[in-house]
Amino acid sequence: MKISKLLMVVSLVLVYETYGQPIEEKDIFSMSLEELMNVEITTASKRAQKISDAPATVISFSAAQIEQFGWRDLKDMFRALTGVDVSYDVQGEVKTLVTMRGVEGNQKILVLQDGQRQNPITGERFIFGHNIPLSIYKRIEIVYGPASALYGADAYAGVINLITKDGSDIDGYSGSIGYISTQAIDGHLSFGKKIDETTDILLFGRIYNGYDFPYHKYYTDSLDYGTVNTYTGRLGQLDKVYPIKNWNLLGKIRYKKFLLGFDWQHQLESNAPSAIPSNYAYVRNNVWGQDIRHIYGIYDLIKNENFNLETLVTLGDYEINPASNFFIPIDTNNDNLLDSAAPGYKYGYSGYLQLGIKSDWMVNEKLNFIAGLTADNVISFPKTKNLQHPFALDGLLEDDLSQFVDTNGYTFGMIGLTDSVFGKRNYKNFGAYVQAQYSPFEKLSITLGGRFDYNSIYKETFNPRVGVIFKTTEKLTFKALVGTAFIAPSNYYRWENWANPYAMHIPNLNIKPEKLRSYEVSGIYFPTKSLSLRASIFRNDMTDIIRPIPAGDQPNNYPYYNPLRLLIGELPNTGFVEINGNLGAIYSQGFELDLTCQLRGLLFSVGYSFTDGLDKEEYDSKLPKVSQHKLNTNLTYQYKKFFASLTVRYYGDIWTAPTNSLYGGGQTIPGATILYLNAGYNLTSNLAATLAIDNMLNTKHYGAAPYGESIWIQPRAPQSLIKVYGGLKFRF
């Protein structure tokens, strides 16, 4: 049974708060900077500890900080993070492309909610769109670097943990309603209540409906969206708009030692931006949608001062909306004008049941153990080929590829692949992890840990971690960290297939895990209670990179088979063919500097990062999609009932791939400086007016494009110009 049916029935369900006790929410100006920058977090070790004691580089944002900066969705937070490259407006399956410390790929950042995995378990790219509202979270914790030693697959570039508020944090109703200048409405409503000392309830809903920025009206260069304005015939009559139809549901209830909850993330946004408009039409019909859902419960078997033991049951799924499609323009008159279009619909589904148990044992003041076991049973129906009609949800999970069978019975012409009906590709995964943190004396802490995973597809993987923390004084802490991570060669990569008259992507069942080893030395220094400094030096070495590569020659040059070639007058055994495979190695290295100071109603921070590296594929090239120099400046001010914040994001020229159709061969995409403003006024103690302006100087700028930056994707991704949000926040 799909989890969506269960969610229809569940009225009160729970989410687990976190692996430790939450901090008390305070106004950011009522806390000293040392308190603000060294709060208690849980993500780095799955147990509560101060940031300075965690064996990782961790940044934490409170609900008050989120509100001060006007971040409405998780993607907004990236503008303020040191060492992160971000392109906000790219193709629909990605939406916002995020690269942490030179490690590119949304599927390489593990997103958690209250410690629960949010990424699709089958490896699809995580979408950072207008689909992850921040108003329901009391804290966001960002862990830089690999964390597979605790979390298993996909905790590769970093981990983001979204920690929900409790009912007691709301104590009634709270919400917001706002209008965005792109013609969209954004609103949410929360109900929370602490019934008594044993029972706490929270319910939350959010709607974001309307349109995104009309890129083609402002980026009219033929390299960007010029083709959009030349559509003719039936295609030219279609609305050139970029729809957003998103909503979220979340609930949790805690009763004594038991918690049970749900979340449902429904996303449907334009699939067009950053695709080449002569290949994929920039019209209302071209959309990408998906649903991510979970029901889960945790029970504390034992909970005391020195030993905790808890069990976990999670039922989750991921589903591509059957309306999702790649809307392909067609020149029906052979006059070099695009006048019609045909959708290529997509569908995919995965569901899983996870059982887990975790223990936290404080042996004594010097020694602590964390250990756990997980078991996943996964149903996986990989993304289909392009379909002429939306997938029939009342039918079997099957993708009929019989039209791609050649005269010898091989699908796609792949020798040995005689299966032409692709169905479910289920698998199991078992994980076991342990971590010990030992302090031989007061100023020194040593962390050793590792996780073993056995997957029924790719077999064994082991990932260790080592951390040393040395507190020279109460004000100065040094950390030395070594960790590893891996990306699972999931069914998404193994069975991905698509075809059009010009190119074809075929399955590859022999992909190995992509691996990363990271080294880092960092320091945290508080010269005064109003000033903090952080510095980090890091190196990431990645091998067996999973990426699209040209399909190799088969024995005796046996040809691949693409019958769609006949539509353009070519033979079916010709044309470009690619697969997902392991190719090359990558390293990234650099350093980060963060300075934060506080003076009464003023909070100021600046972060600079330098990132260098090399992609060793068939040629050595600079890291694509990365700018070497990045600077983020954040200024927050509060006076009586008024508050305001200003973020200035500077990124230098962006390296591109050698295959980039515009900038390849050592050229770069020009960098830019972008300003973000957020301001508000508390009309009463329960009502506030807010104003947010993104790209307030209306600066034309570009970001890195996803994938190969050529053939189907634009070599650069035009970013939206000015966006204005105005709204009201309330509680009662």
Q: What is the pLDDT of residues 183-233, one digit of tens each?
A: 999 999 999 999 999 999 999 999 999 999 999 999 998 888 989 999 999
**Residue 663 banded pLDDT, cuts 50, 70, 90:** confident
| The pLDDT of residue 316 | 97
Confidence of residue 658 (pLDDT cuts 50, 70, 90): confident
Run of H or E residues at 315: strand 307-320
Q: How would residue 2 be classed by pLDDT, with cut points 50, 70 and 90?
A: low
Beta carbons within 8 Å of 295's beta carbon, 6+ residues apart = 3, 6, 7, 10, 13, 260, 261, 262, 314, 315, 316
Positive or negative CA dihedral for 149, 152, 155, 161?
negative
In this prediction, what percent of the chain has a pLDDT beyond 70? 95
Place of tokens 């890195």: 704
Average pLDDT over residues 361-376: 96
The pLDDT score that the predictor gives to residue 348 is 96
Is residue 6 predicted with pLDDT exceeding 90? no
Instruction: Dump pLDDT digits (tens) for 618-655.
Output: 667 889 999 999 999 999 999 989 999 999 999 999 99
| For residues 280-285, average pLDDT | 94
Summarize pLDDT for 49-90 with one digit per residue, the tens: 999 899 999 999 999 899 999 999 999 999 999 999 999 989
pLDDT of residue 391 exceeding 80: yes
Q: Enter the tokens of residue 419.
A: 């299966």
Q: pLDDT confidence of 36, banded at 50, 70, 90?
A: low
How does DSSP assign 49-64, residue by residue? EEGGGSSSEEEEEEHH
In the structure, what pLDDT confidence band is assigned to residue 12 with cuts at 50, 70 and 90?
Answer: very low
Note the pLDDT tens digit of each residue in 482-524.
999 999 988 888 999 988 888 999 999 999 999 999 999 999 9
Domains contained in the chain, number: 1
User: Tens digit of pLDDT for each residue in 554-596?
Assistant: 999 999 999 999 989 999 999 999 999 999 999 999 999 999 9
- 347: nearest Cα among 413, 314, 276, 395: 395
| Burial class (CB within 10 angstroms; exposed 0-12, middle 13-18, buried 19+) of 252 | buried
The closest of 127, 105, 89 to 274, measured between CA atoms, is 89
pLDDT reading at 361 higher than 70: yes
Answer yes or no: is pLDDT of 16 > 70: no
- Average pLDDT score, the chain: 91
Residue 23 pLDDT exceeds 60: no
435-458: average pLDDT? 96
| CATH code for the domain of 271 | 2.40.170.20
**The pLDDT value given to residue 708:** 81
Measure the CA angle with vertex 311, ends 307 and 313; round to 5°.
160
DSSP calls for 641-672: TEEEEEEEEEE-PEE--TT-TTTTTT-EE--E
Enter the pTM of the model: 0.93
Host domain of residue 206: 3-731
Q: Can you tell me the mean pLDDT for 281-296?
A: 96
pLDDT of residue 551: 95
Place of tokens 């004000």: 475
Rounded to whole angstroms, the Cα distance separating 664 from 662 reads 6
The pLDDT value recorded for residue 39 is: 83
Q: Distance (Å, rounded) from C-alpha 151 to C-alpha 157?
A: 12
Residues 531-541 pLDDT 10s: 999 999 999 99
Residue 3 has pLDDT above 90, yes or no: no
- Mean pLDDT, residues 19-44: 62
- CA 499 from centre of chain: 27
Residue 405 has what DSSP assignment?
B
